[in-house]
Every structure is written in C-alpha cells, then in structure tokens.
C-alpha cells in the first residue's frame, strides 16, 4: 500500500483548510487497516473519514488513515424490514439515495448530510426530527491499539444529542469499519413532524408523502439554508443548540419575546444557537476569509483561504458575545484538531 508524504488535506476536509499530513494512507480493506496499524507499533494515528465534522488548525504529524472501505449488503429480516450494512467509507448521502432508490425507509430525513457512513455514528447525525440512533442496529470496529474487533450494539454506543461513546469515553480508541441499520421495506414511518417539511409538502399539495418526497423536500430545504461544502468550506452547525433552565429562558423571553425554544423536560428548554448568533449581529459577517454564513448563522464558513485558527477566532468572538448578551455558554459541535 502506498503511503504518501506531506500531503495537503485541503480536499479531505469540508472546511477546505489547507494543512498537511506528514504521512497519509488510503485504506480500502480491513486487512490493509490491520497491517498498517500493526506496523505503526502503537504510535498515534489520525483517523480521517469524510472530514465533514472537523476543523483542522495545524499540520498533522501522525499517520493519517483515510478510511475508504466500500460496499453495501442487504438482508431481508421480515416482511416489513431489512438489515442493511454499509462499509465506513461509503458516502453518506449516496448511501441514503441508494436506500430511497430501493424503497428502504428510515434515513430519508438525513439526506444531503456531508460525510461518510463511518463517521455518522460518532456524533449521532441528526436532522429534521430524525437521528441516526433511530435506525442504527450496530457498529463494527477495530481497536487501534490491540487490533481486536468489537461490535457495538445501539445501546453500547450511548447515543445522545450529537454525541456517542466514540466522541466521549472511547474517543480515539476505535475505528468504525461497518454500520448496520434496520430499515423498513414497506409501511414506512414517514416523519413530517419538523415544521419546514410540513410547509414544503403542503406547498406542493402532497398529502401522502413517500420516502422519496421527504428526501426531495429535505434536500431542497438544506440547499436553501446550508452552504454546499464544494463551493464554500464549512462543517454544518459549528455549535450545539444549548439546553437552558426554564427560569433562565423566562427571563430571556421577557427581553426577547420572539426567542424560539423546544421543550426538553419540565425544567429545561433547548434554544436554537442560530437565533442567538443572528440576534447578536453575526449573521453574514466576515473577517478575511473566515465568517458566518448569511443564511444560517449556526454555520461558520471558509470563503477561500481561511486558516483553522482564524475560524476558531470567529467562534471565540461568538461564544464571548453570546455569554455576555444571553448568559449562555455555547458548546462546539465540530471536533477541533
Ligand atoms: N434561526 C435563526 N437564525 C439563523 C438560523 C436559525 O433565527 O441564522 C432559527 C430558525 O428560524 C428556527 C431555529 O433557529 O426557528 C432552528 O433553525 P433550523 O431549523 O435551521 O435548525 P438548527 O437548530 O439551526 C439543527 C441542527 C442541524 C439540522 C437542523 C434541522 C444542531 C446543532 N443543528 O439546526 O444539523 O440540519 O436542525 O433539523 O442541532 C449539523 O448538525 O451540522 C446540522 C446542520
């Protein structure tokens, strides 16, 4: 297998940050992965999947493993369900389109999310009322140090809002090689709960949506708000939506009667960080090539040749202002290296 040296990672991260990898290997089989890990003798490795949820702030000195394992397998489970296993290097959106094309339901609300199948469980990707954890059955992994294979069930993954065991307790320890989902092959559970989906369907007078209708509507909504990483570098939502106490929210609502919120439990609500950032005057702002998207303030963007550090500086300005103005601490959703 070829190991490249001093390779630019600009085309391997959706923020389009131009840092280099001292050593870079593209992994196309599990055997290659095991061989490389064992010859690397437990030195640190940097696992690179679709590069869609990371911000690179410096050159990577450790061996970069670009996980490009391909392949999809389907087994019929019952009259209504299939088990579908995708290798980690499959492009997420292409995989979702494959499911829609074969009339397998469950992932349609997660259309057009950048990245690969293998990184989707790490932050439990979610959009328009659906999260990965709703259909994931298991993740197959290899331990970076011992090379032991381990299968994590849905429960083992400890999924939470934009979080999992792979982003917390076991961070950096396992490489996800395959992910299995349980999808419907008929009687699909169509999820139109998210306001924007309902509005778009009624505009088109669709009363009994198919999974393809949902996917198409989600694609349109995302295209209208979120920048295409092939045109403007970004990693989707840069921050998580914060959860705050009701008392705190009530005070904010007195000052800002239009502040949106989603109920969490009797003591807490979630507030959209995009709204907080927009109402602090950051939407569409730009410092050199680093800035805030003009249609979705939760998305930080690289207009061309911003460095990772410059994007971090923008994020720090936003965090400080949101703390001062709303007394809320924003938590970063993107992994910063
Ligand atoms: N809003 C503003 N200004 C903005 C952006 C949003 O006022 O600039 C308001 C909207 O008007 C709306 C609310 O904030 O009232 C929520 O906005 P939106 O529906 O766009 O969703 P979001 O909370 O900003 C979350 C996810 C997205 C996901 C969408 C749709 C997080 C961190 N982000 O964004 O996920 O696509 O909901 O489900 O939970 C991602 O994780 O990378 C991502 C894009």
For ligand 1, mutation pick of 274, 293, 333 (most atoms within 8 Å of CB): 274
For ligand 1, mutation pick of 109, 227, 259, 298 (most atoms within 8 Å of CB): 298
Longest pairwise C-alpha distance within the chain: 62
Q: Is the pLDDT of residue 1 over 80?
A: no
Pairing of strands 3-8, 20-27: antiparallel
Instruction: Please give the Cα distance from 9 to 14 (Å, whole number).
Output: 10
Query: How distant, in Å, are the alpha carbons of 130, 201, 209, 219 from that of 216?
Result: 16, 10, 10, 5
Contact residues of ligand 1, CB 6 A cut-off? 127-128, 225, 236-237, 240-241, 260, 272, 274-275, 278, 283, 296-298, 333
Q: What is the pLDDT of residues 199-229, one digit of tens each?
A: 999 999 999 999 999 999 999 999 999 999 9
Q: Using H for helix, E for strand and C for coil, what is the string for 232-252?
A: CEEEEECECCCEEEHHHHHHH
Atom of ligand 1 nearest to the CA of 225: 20
Instruction: Please give the Cα distance from 173 to 170 (Å, whole number).
Output: 6
- pLDDT (average), residues 109-119: 97
Please name every residue paired with 176 in a beta bridge, in sequence order, or none if there are none: 141
Instruction: Please give the Cα distance from 306 to 290 (Å, whole number).
Output: 5
**Which pLDDT score is estimated for 322?**
98
Q: Is the pLDDT of residue 114 over 80?
A: yes
């Amino acid at each position: 297998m070829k190991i490249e040296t001093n390779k630019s990672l600009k085309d391997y991260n959706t923020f389009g940050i131009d840092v280099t990898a001292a050593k870079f290997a593209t992994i196309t089989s599990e055997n290659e992965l095991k061989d490389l890990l064992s010859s690397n003798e437990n030195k640190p490795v940097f696992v690179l999947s679709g590069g869609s949820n990371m911000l690179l702030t410096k050159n990577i000195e450790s061996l970069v493993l670009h996980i490009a394992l391909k392949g999809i397998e389907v087994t019929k489970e019952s009259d209504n369900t299939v088990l579908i296993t995708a290798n980690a290097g499959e492009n997420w959106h292409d995989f979702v389109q494959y499911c829609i094309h074969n009339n397998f339901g469950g992932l349609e609300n997660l259309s057009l999310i950048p990245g690969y199948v293998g990184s989707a469980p790490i932050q439990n990707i979610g959009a328009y009322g659906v999260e990965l954890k709703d259909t994931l059955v298991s993740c197959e992994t290899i331990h970076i140090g011992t090379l032991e294979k381990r299968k994590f069930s849905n429960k083992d993954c400890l999924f939470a809002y934009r979080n999992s065991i792979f982003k917390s307790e076991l961070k950096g320890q396992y490489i996800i090689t395959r992910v299995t989902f349980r999808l419907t092959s008929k009687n699909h559970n169509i999820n139109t709960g998210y306001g924007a989906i309902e509005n778009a369907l009624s505009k088109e007078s669709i009363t009994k949506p198919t999974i393809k209708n949902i996917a198409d509507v989600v694609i349109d909504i995302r295209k209208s708000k979120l920048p295409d990483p092939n045109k403007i570098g970004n990693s989707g939502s840069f921050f998580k939506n914060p959860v705050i106490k009701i008392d705190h929210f009530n005070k904010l609502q007195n000052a800002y009667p239009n502040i949106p919120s989603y109920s969490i439990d009797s003591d807490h609500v979630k507030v959209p960080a995009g709204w907080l950032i927009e109402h602090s005057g950051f939407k569409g702002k730009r410092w050199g090539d680093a800035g805030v998207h003009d249609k979705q303030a939760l998305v930080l963007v690289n207009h061309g040749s911003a460095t990772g550090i410059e994007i971090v500086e923008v994020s720090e300005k936003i965090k400080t202002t949101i703390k001062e103005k709303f007394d809320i601490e924003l938590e970063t959703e993107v992994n910063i290296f």
